[in-house]
Structure 1
């Protein structure tokens, strides 16, 4: 009889019970949640490598911070499931819910502030020009904060954006018929077409005899450090660039939110099942 009992004990250790399997499943689910932080962090890092986003620094750091927090919480949940720590698992579920909601709010907010778009055709030009009034007030306010635009335009002037623009379009015909000029180059590296400047090079223009009353026309300078960086058209071009890049990052955020919701629901179910099995095990131990 004693030998039979020992064999039964050996078999019970050789094959994991339902509770152990539930904890293993919960550990795998929580690890998957940690892995889903990677595209979020990657989106933030990608934004920080874009010259315009690097100069403005609005979205990338919240994205990176949320991604890092999801990674840390996911790993904590993985450890809690692996070591069967109910208090850590409960903390994981609460913290992950807050982070998923925060990421969803950030994705929705990003979509909202980039909903309006600009890009106006110009007579005798294939490329588009941009108007600052077409963008959300929140984005415009970020650029108009005291001293903010001075720092941004100094940063933009240090990038190769306009130098590349000048090298790419060596002739007036090449520029005027170009089907695509980046919004940043269109707004910051040349005077607005409505000002009537005469092309010499892509970044050197002769002013008309009588300049238009538009402030952007007076703000243009052939000096490399100035160009049209003080123009509203430059702010508009920057916001259009930001809009395009933020929309791409927002797709990643939206997909990550959807995947995290699925993983979170699965985690809640696995946690509940593990707790039910634990209670059932204690019930059996108490009555046997």
Structure 2
């Protein structure tokens, strides 16, 4: 009879194998549907994850159920590397998301964000011209500022200041409050005649819907705040996934030991 650990590894890897199929199909579907640069990374993640789960789960399934020690050893080796990878990424994510927060403004329902408040690693990513051109293209294609303009189109100045804006809306779709522009609409502001601004974002602002504040430091900071929030959620999932991997790895070690004992008895 198969031992409990072998059966358990087999069941867990069967579930992983079944899970890998819709993940892989989703990645292939996204690769056919993606029409903007925003989605290129997402389809790659799904395809790589789907192929990885498919191969590893098959190795674990055959190794445990058919008592093929070499496959089970390969499975455990890959699992060990995966545990190290997930652990390293989780620690890294905790470190780089530890800095950065929005600044509370007086009599404002929203916050403003400064690029210098975030980790150097994050700053280097968005200060790279190639990276930012791609991100900016994504933000434009997402129409976040078009929706912003429509959502708050009927607001007067006092009501607009009381709105609870997202970090991207605050950083990319309106000028910084320090510019003191004249409000004419959520994404339409009249610059002062002097044009002497201490904040370079004030010069970068343009009422053109394709420009707005997409070239501003506040937009980069708003994007990092949104990214930081997502990374924190991913980190929590990673911790749960890491615990699951350690449990599966421990059970797999027991199954490998059982295989060695059975082979030795033969």
User: How many Å separate the matches in 2 of 1:113 and 1:270?
Assistant: 38
Q: Deviations for 1:207-237, whole angstroms, at most 9, x for unmatched residues?
A: 1233422100111000011000110000000
Q: Does 1:142 align with 2:145?
A: no
Is the Cα contact below 8 Å between 2:5 and 2:251 reproduced in 1? no
1:147–1:105: structure 2 CA closer, same or farther, 3 Å change rule? Answer: same
1: CA distance, partners of 2:53 / 2:190: 54
- Number of residue equivalences: 255
Correspondences of 1:18-33 after superposition (within 5 Å): 23-31=6-14
Q: Gaps spanning 5+ residues in structure 2: where? A: 28-36
Of the two, which has the highest radius of gyration?
1
Report the Cα offset of residue 248 of structure 1.
Answer: 1.2
In the alignment, which residue of structure 1 is the partner of 2:264?
Answer: 279
Q: Who is 1:106 aligned against?
A: 89
Asked if 1:125 is matched to 2:108, the reply is yes
Structure 1 unmatched runs, 5+: 1-16, 45-53, 283-288
2:166 pairs, out of 182, 193, 198, with: 182
Q: Choose from 219, 223, 229 the match for 1:244.
A: 229
Give the whole-Å Cα distance in 2 for the aligned partners of 1:206 and 1:143.
28
CA–CA distance in 1 between the matches of 2:5 and 2:222? Answer: 53
Q: Distance in 2 between the 1:28 and 1:74 partners?
A: 10
The whole-number CA distance in structure 2 between the counterparts of 1:125 and 1:161 is 21
Please report how far the alpha carbon of residue 63 of structure 1 lies from its aligned counterpart in structure 2 after TM superposition: 8.0
In structure 1, the residue matched to 2:190 is 206
The one of 213, 216, 224 equivalent to 1:231 is: 216
Asked if the contact 2:172–2:213 (Cα under 8 Å) also holds between the matched residues in 1, the reply is yes
> Which of residues 194, 198, 203 is equivalent to 1:218?
203
CA distance in 2, matches of 1:89, 1:266: 11
- 2:176 alignment counterpart: 192
TM-score (norm 1): 0.78
TM-score, length-scaled by structure 2: 0.84
Q: Deviations over 1:61-89 (max 9, x none)?
A: 56863564244212221122223221111
What is the CA–CA distance in structure 1 between the aligned matches of 2:85 and 2:46, rounded to whole Å?
A: 10
**RMSD of aligned C-alpha atoms?**
3.1
CA distance in 2, matches of 1:114, 1:59: 21
